[in-house]
Amino acid sequence: MPDVLSLMAAGHASARDNAQEHGAPLAAARIIAHDRQAMREWAEFTLTGAEDGSEPTLALSGPLRVYSIGSLDVELDELDEDFARLDLSGVTDIDTSGAWLVLRFAQERGAEIVGESEKARRLIAAVGNIAHAEHEAAPEAGLLKRTAGEVGDVVYGLRDGTIGSIGFLGAVLSAAGSLIRHPSRFRVKPLVHHMQYIGVNSLIIIGLMSFLIGIVIAQQGAVQLAQFGAEIYTINLTGRLAMRELGILMTAIMVAGRSGSAFAAQIGTMKLTEEVDAMRTIGVSPMEALVIPRVLATMLMMPLLGFYSALLAIIGGAAISNFALDIPFFTFLQRIQEVVPVTDVWIGLIKAPVFALIVAMAGCYQGMQVKSNAEEVGQRTTQSVVIAIFAVIVLDAFFAIFFTEIGWE
């Protein structure tokens, strides 16, 4: 309470000084009088009725306000006498602090509140409703109900995400059409920058990953084929698997984890700092300035990276075959040209732009959904990677069935 009193005194002193500075002596005089009255009047209590045999009553008097309660709450807690009623007829003023004190003390002692004014009655009722709401604990749902609720939330989230993604794709196509009609608005420098970031800067990590995957495919395939004396078909296995499936698939997963997450984090941070809103304010379309260059750069670089990845996987298979299977390195590469059909190359090149569109769309869409805080940026970045990888794998399975059905076996 001393801290409260000092704050109140400081506030009134500031108001008094401001009133005097602005030539308002009457207002300053009123503030000074109020200060003196507040410092003079304190809330008090008396206990009556215990000696004459009547019903014991605790009577409160004076203003029950935050600056006049003082040590009243401590004195009431130390009171040992019992009483049945709490009389507020002598209370001249009351605020929520006083109402809370009266309600708490009456509930602890089981006393009836009497003599209160209409203002006091409303404040005590309001404080009582708040306290009741705070102490009401929501009943804990059972395991089955919680599980069903979480599944429902996921289903609704998927529905909203699907609808939002379709709408975002439409916005991207609309922005692309606008750029086709007005080529001067197309930003070449951001396109080149993102092409370098997605393509050139990732050559080392994608090349190393593909080289090691090629070694694993060739080594494990040779172990299994050796049981039938068909080690020579390790070349077929490595070449076709790298060109048709794993080259572009592993590249898409790597780009999703490296570039897709960067798109979500970059755009999400710009949303958080209101840079996207500022772009709209000055008449710049965020779709044209932020999304289109990233999507186009990803679609241009993914086929090249996929083909590069497949070549490094084949070279890795040839390297391990040269040492473990006694198949000469250049013989392995020459045999690749004979056993890998051109359709496998075309399959990889056809899938690459589709996978690139999914990865870039997932990153940009999740970044545009950031609204509140930095934690949401991290959540949206994680979601962009998970969604992109999941969608790429599902579409890869669809493409595998589709190309087999049309005769590209």
Stretch among 38-47, 369-378, 399-408 having the lowest mean pLDDT? 38-47
Task: Determine the pLDDT at residue 125.
Answer: 83
Helices 292-324 & 329-339 angle (0-180, nearest 10): 120
Q: What gap in Å lies between CA 266 and CA 290, rounded to an integer?
A: 10
Task: Determine the pLDDT at residue 54.
Answer: 66
Polymer length in residues for the chain: 409
Which helix (H) or strand (E) element contains residue 57? strand 57-64
Stretch among 7-16, 76-85, 182-191 having the lowest mean pLDDT? 7-16
Distance of CA 235 to the CA centre of its chain: 47
Asked if 206 and 311 count as a contact pair (C-beta separation under 8 A), the reply is: no
Range 321-346 average pLDDT: 89
User: Average pLDDT of the chain?
Assistant: 83
Asked if 308 and 208 count as a contact pair (C-beta separation under 8 A), the reply is: no
Percent of the chain with pLDDT over 90: 47
Which helix (H) or strand (E) element contains residue 89? strand 85-94
- DSSP secondary structure string for all residues of 206-257: HHHHHHHHHHHHHHHHHHHHGGGT-GGGHHHHHHHHIIIIIHHHHHHHHHII
Range 279-284 average pLDDT: 92
DSSP-derived letter for residue 287 is: I
Torsion sign (Cα): 121, 126, 127, 132: positive
Paired tokens of 260: 């897709």
Q: Which CATH class is domain 41-135?
A: alpha beta
Asked if 241 and 217 count as a contact pair (C-beta separation under 8 A), the reply is: yes
CATH 3.30.750.24 in the chain, residues?
Answer: 41-135
- Name the band, by pLDDT with cuts 50, 70 and 90, for residue 384: very high
Comparing 78 with 296, the larger pLDDT belongs to: 296
Asked if 362 and 388 count as a contact pair (C-beta separation under 8 A), the reply is: yes
Asked if 76 and 108 count as a contact pair (C-beta separation under 8 A), the reply is: no
- What's the pLDDT tens digit per position in 162-191? 898 899 999 999 999 999 999 999 999 999
Q: What gap in Å lies between CA 132 and CA 122, rounded to an integer?
A: 15
3-state secondary structure of 87: strand
Residues whose CB is less than 8 angstroms from the CB of residue 225 and which lie 6 or more positions away in sequence, other chains included? 231, 233, 234, 237
Stretch among 105-114, 186-195, 328-337, 342-351 having the lowest mean pLDDT? 105-114
Range 247-274 average pLDDT: 93
Helices 247-255 & 292-324 angle (0-180, nearest 10): 130
- Put residue 110 in one of left, alpha, beta given phi > 0 → left and psi -120 to 50 → alpha: left
Asked if 149 and 141 count as a contact pair (C-beta separation under 8 A), the reply is: yes
- What's the pLDDT tens digit per position in 205-215? 999 999 999 99
Q: Is the pLDDT of residue 256 over 80?
A: yes
Range 325-351 average pLDDT: 90
Q: What gap in Å lies between CA 324 and CA 32, rounded to an integer?
A: 98
Query: Which of 360, 327, 343 minimizes the C-alpha distance to 406?
Result: 343
Task: Determine the pLDDT at residue 250.
Answer: 94
Q: What gap in Å lies between CA 359 and CA 295, rounded to an integer?
A: 8
Range 69-98 average pLDDT: 79
Q: Of the segments 83-87, 120-124, 280-284, which one has the largest average pLDDT value?
A: 280-284
- Name the band, by pLDDT with cuts 50, 70 and 90, for residue 303: very high
Stretch among 92-106, 142-156, 312-326 having the lowest mean pLDDT? 92-106
- Name the band, by pLDDT with cuts 50, 70 and 90, for residue 35: very low
Q: Is the pLDDT of residue 335 over 60?
A: yes
